[in-house]
Structure formats: structure tokens, C-alpha cells
């Protein structure tokens, strides 16, 4: 290829990219907020306690597993990641498989939630939600479905209140916060390493200053974990998808979810960062909630542990650790391809996650019925 050919090709590519960027700008201008709505699966409010709300999703298929399932996301993000859009929604997919699905939504914490602890979230909010579900459905026990930090909360609840838990399902959940040390993948465990490097006094100063760990602060931390992706998504990635409306809208919905990063309540953040990430108290049995030891051996319900094999935020080994720590004999691990968020929103993973969860729950529901 001659110099003239290369120059001509450069200007053609530049013109094509400019045309796509103009088109993207026009699409942004034409798109309304309601066009990129997330978390749209129909549900109704059952109970409100402070800023925390309990919802019940409307059924869309004949019931299979009868035991109600309570979905709990973490405080670091919003549950809408599990209900991004109709064709990329764990919530809608589980409903289509006949599960009775409930949601606990933590709302948008602010400075007024400064003194809330993980104790409050586990022994107050989750416990109140479980009791209300039991009251409304007539079931003495519920299935807990925890995602990420929400998986830690539900794991703690299953250990402290085993009599109220029929099954425990956790996804992309850290249990051993130091297991990444032995992980051979260079891109796994950045968050663990960064958090362990923090001076505990700096964590205290951050919380004392803001009353929370600001959502914007955590967004910047996650952006640093994939710096090139963060730098190129509005030019390279956007240019690649601007001619595909479905991909363009999915891109916008993901950006909307990422921008909706809530603040993390201060005292709960101290426990999360110092007691768990730094001191690894959950796995060694020294983590205390409401004056009681969270003993993982007290978990007697069947447990399903789903994790992503290429999760750079919660490395697989951090999740796998649960299997050797619990008291239940019914323990199942399902490793799935994908990353931390991709497990829930990627077109490649759609169906695999929900089908695995539904099959596992239905099998145990049928077993329980046959034994009664």
C-alpha cells in the first residue's frame, strides 16, 4: 500500500467515524429518559421501613417452586442491574420459570443513614422482610437470593436465623476476602488489593467527613479497575454500536445503571471495608452482628453458590471458600463464564444463570414436598 493509499484510507475512516459520532449525538438528543427505563418488571410495594422497601413481583407464569424467593442486592449498586431490560433481566427470567419473587430495595442512603450498620440490614431490614413474606404467604421459611454484597448479608442471615431459611442462593459473593492472594489471574483481585492497602484511619476520615462512602467515589474506584475501557467506551465502543439500535439502547441502560451509584451508609461501610475486606472476619468466624458470632457452620439450609469465572471484582476463589465452611450437606457450586456484571447482563449468559437457579430450587421444592 502506497503512502497515498494509506492517506486516503485514513481520511475515509476519519470521515466515517465523524459521521457515526454525529449520528450518536443526534440519537442522544432524541432519546428520552423513559426510553432507557430500567427495573421495569411489574411489582407492587408491600412494606416500607425507613428508606428500605419490600416489593412483590407480579407472577407471569404458573408456579413451580412454591417457596417465596427474596432477592437482595448490595448497597454498593442498585438492584436494577438484575432487571436491566426485558431481554436481559434475571428477575423477569426467574418469574418466567414460575418462581415467587420478592425484592428488598435499600433505597438511596444519605447522611441520615450514617450510623446504620450491617447488623441493621441483616437483623432488622432483612428479618422484617422475611417475617412479612411469611405472614403474607403462609410459609415459615423463605429462599434467600443474594447478589454480591447482598449475598454476604443473606449468608449472615442464614447463619443467624437458620430456622427461617429454606434455601440460600448466592451469586458473585465474596466469602474469603483474601483468597485472591493465590489467584493466578493478574487482573483478578484489584479491588481486594486496593482495599487492603487503605489505612483504617483514612476509612474513618472518609466516613466521618461525608457520613457515607459517596457513590461517586466508588464509581471512580471501579473505573480505575478497567481504565482503558473507561477511557474508550464513549468513542470506540459507541462508534461500534451506533448503527445497531438495540445495542445502543442497551449501552445507554448500562450507563444509566452505572450512574445510579448510591452512597454507602457510613458505619456499614466501615464494617465492609475493615472487618471483611481488611481483616477477613467472615471466613475466620470472628465477624459479629448484633452481639452474635456469624458462624457459617450454622448454615444448615441447602446452598447454591454461583460465581463468574472471569470476575475481576470478586475472584472465583473468594466465592468458592463457602463450600468448606458451612454446616449444610447440600451444597452446589455453579461456575459460569463471564465477568462480575456480564453474568447478569451479557447476551451470552442470558438463560444460563436463571435456568441454573430455577432448576436447583424446583428440585429442592419437589424433594421437600415428597418428604412431607
- Active site residues per annotation: 148
- The DSSP output letter for 161 is -
Kindly state the greatest CA–CA separation across the chain: 81
Backbone φ and ψ for 198, nearest 5 degrees, come out as: -70, 140
CA distance 308 to 173: 10
Backbone φ and ψ for 252, nearest 5 degrees, come out as: -65, -40
CA distance 220 to 75: 16
Cβ–Cβ under 8 Å, residues 168 and 158: yes
**List of residues 6+ apart from 114 with CB closer than 8 A:** 207, 211, 212, 265, 266, 267
CA distance 348 to 350: 6
Helix axes of 215-225 and 190-197: crossing angle, nearest 10 degrees: 130
**List of residues 6+ apart from 328 with CB closer than 8 A:** 299, 300, 301, 302, 303
Strand, helix or coil at 330? coil
Amino acid at each position: 500500500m502506497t503512502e497515498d493509499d494509506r492517506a486516503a484510507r485514513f481520511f475515509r475512516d476519519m470521515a466515517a467515524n465523524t459521521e457515526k459520532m454525529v449520528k450518536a449525538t443526534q440519537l442522544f438528543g432524541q432519546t428520552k429518559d423513559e426510553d432507557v427505563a430500567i427495573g421495569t418488571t411489574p411489582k407492587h410495594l408491600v412494606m416500607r421501613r425507613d428508606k428500605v422497601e419490600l416489593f412483590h413481583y407480579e407472577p407471569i407464569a404458573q408456579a413451580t417452586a412454591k417457596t417465596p424467593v427474596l432477592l437482595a442486592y448490595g448497597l454498593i449498586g442498585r438492584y436494577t442491574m438484575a432487571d436491566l431490560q426485558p431481554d436481559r433481566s434475571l428477575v423477569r427470567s426467574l418469574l418466567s420459570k414460575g418462581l415467587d419473587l420478592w425484592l428488598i430495595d435499600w433505597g438511596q442512603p444519605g447522611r441520615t443513614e450514617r450510623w446504620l450498620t450491617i447488623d441493621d440490614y441483616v437483623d432488622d431490614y432483612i428479618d422484617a422482610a422475611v417475617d412479612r413474606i411469611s405472614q403474607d404467604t403462609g410459609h415459615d421459611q423463605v429462599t434467600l437470593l443474594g447478589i454480591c454484597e447482598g449475598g454476604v448479608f443473606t449468608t449472615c442471615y442464614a447463619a443467624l436465623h437458620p430456622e427461617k431459611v429454606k434455601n440460600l442462593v448466592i451469586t458473585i459473593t465474596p466469602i474469603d476476602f483474601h483468597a485472591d492472594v493465590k489467584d493466578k489471574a493478574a487482573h483478578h483481585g484489584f479491588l481486594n488489593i486496593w482495599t487492603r492497602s487503605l489505612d483504617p484511619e483514612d476509612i474513618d476520615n472518609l466516613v466521618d467527613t461525608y457520613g457515607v462512602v459517596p457513590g461517586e467515589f466508588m464509581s471512580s474506584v471501579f473505573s480505575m479497575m478497567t481504565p482503558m475501557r473507561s477511557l474508550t467506551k464513549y468513542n470506540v465502543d459507541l462508534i461500534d454500536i451506533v448503527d445497531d439500535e438495540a445495542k445502543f439502547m442497551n449501552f445507554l441502560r448500562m450507563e444509566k445503571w452505572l450512574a445510579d451509584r448510591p452512597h454507602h451508609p457510613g458505619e456499614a461501610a466501615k464494617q465492609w471495608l475493615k472487618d471483611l475486606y481488611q481483616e477477613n472476619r467472615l471466613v475466620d468466624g470472628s465477624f459479629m452482628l448484633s452481639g452474635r458470632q456469624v458462624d457459617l457452620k450454622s448454615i444448615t439450609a441447602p446452598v447454591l453458590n454461583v460465581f463468574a469465572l472471569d470476575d475481576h471484582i470478586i475472584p472465583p476463589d473468594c466465592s468458592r471458600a463457602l463450600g468448606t465452611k458451612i454446616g449444610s450437606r447440600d451444597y452446589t457450586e455453579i461456575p459460569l463464564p463471564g465477568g462480575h456484571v456480564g453474568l447478569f447482563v451479557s447476551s451470552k449468559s442470558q438463560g444460563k444463570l436463571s435456568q441454573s437457579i430455577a432448576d436447583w430450587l424446583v428440585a429442592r421444592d419437589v424433594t421437600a414436598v415428597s418428604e412431607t
